[in-house]
């Protein structure tokens, strides 16, 4: 009650989207402030002077950066609809897979799209290996979190919704239905959740945005 919650984000940022989803799943009222990353606001720089990046959550004047740190903060501050499991080992596993997505999968996907020839092939193989590890985690469950959407699901949205666009842009086979049927089912279940859909960028605009990113990165890597 009386909480002032502001989120500095960017519409196409998967990291911003995951924070917004967590806030929505918990039913927290917040003010969303869209940042132009080519011309960052003084408020963003003041609230995240170290990394100067979105997302930043500002709660009653306290600013928190880094999406995984923000997710934990949200879960500890507003107890309704827990994001992380309660058991310490299950919590550790959730954190492990969250880090795996951010530190491994996102980088491998990036290289699979940007590189060409043999390097690209190697990275596509690595994407498949990493997706298989995720597939094994969600197999036999509705969500990574069990019966309901949780921390790893929120973090893994980037896998659920970016990969399909990357496939289209690069003409690649990354997350195919025959190889990853359980991940496919999981993506279908995510799409049945209203808050998830509310947080997804409009597809065509998102596709063009990522296409431009990929082209920039490709010309930079040559």
Residues 6+ apart with CB under 8 A from 190: 143, 149, 153, 157, 160, 196
Q: Are 153 and 190 in contact (CB under 8 A)?
A: yes
Question: Interface with its own copies includes 92 (CB under 8 A)?
Answer: yes
- Total number of residues shown for the chain: 222
Question: Interface with its own copies includes 6 (CB under 8 A)?
Answer: no
Query: Which two structure tokens, joined as six digits, stand for 141?
Result: 């469950």
H helices then E strands: how many in the chain? 11, 4
Q: Are 57 and 19 in contact (CB under 8 A)?
A: yes
The 33-52 site mask, x for binding its own copies (CB under 8 A), equals -----------------x--
CB closer to its own copies out of 90 and 207: 90
Measured CA to CA, the distance from residue 64 to residue 71 in angstroms comes to 10
Question: Interface with its own copies includes 133 (CB under 8 A)?
Answer: yes
Smallest gap, in angstroms, from Cβ of residue 97 to its own copies?
Answer: 9
Smallest gap, in angstroms, from Cβ of residue 91 to its own copies?
Answer: 7
Going by their DSSP bridges, the two strands 56-59 and 31-34 should be labelled as: unpaired
Question: Interface with its own copies includes 70 (CB under 8 A)?
Answer: yes
Question: Interface with its own copies includes 73 (CB under 8 A)?
Answer: yes
Smallest gap, in angstroms, from Cβ of residue 82 to its own copies?
Answer: 14
Give contact residues for its own copies (rule: CB under 8 A): 50, 59, 62, 64-66, 68-70, 72-73, 76-77, 88-89, 91-93, 95-96, 99-100, 133
């Amino acid at each position: 009650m009386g909480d002032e919650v502001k989120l500095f984000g960017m519409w196409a940022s998967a990291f911003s989207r995951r924070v917004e989803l967590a806030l929505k799943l918990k039913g927290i009222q917040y003010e969303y402030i869209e940042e132009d990353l080519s011309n960052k606001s003084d408020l963003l720089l003041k609230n995240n002077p170290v990394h100067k990046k979105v997302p930043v959550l500002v709660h009653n004047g306290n600013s928190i950066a880094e999406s995984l740190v923000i997710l934990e903060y949200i879960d500890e501050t507003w107890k309704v609809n827990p994001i992380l499991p309660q058991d310490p080992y299950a919590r550790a596993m959730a954190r492990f897979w969250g880090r795996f997505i951010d530190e491994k999968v996102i980088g491998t996907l990036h290289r699979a799209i940007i590189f060409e020839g043999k390097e690209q092939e190697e990275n596509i193989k690595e994407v498949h290996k990493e997706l298989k590890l995720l597939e094994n985690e969600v197999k036999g469950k509705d969500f990574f979190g069990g019966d309901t959407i949780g921390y790893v699901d929120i973090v893994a949205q980037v896998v659920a919704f970016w990969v399909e666009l990357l496939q289209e842009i690069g003409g690649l086979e990354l997350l195919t239905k025959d190889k990853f049927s359980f991940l496919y089912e999981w993506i279908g279940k995510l799409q049945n959740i209203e808050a998830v859909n509310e947080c997804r960028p409009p597809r065509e605009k998102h596709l063009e945005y990522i296409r431009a990113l990929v082209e920039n990165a490709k010309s930079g890597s040559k």
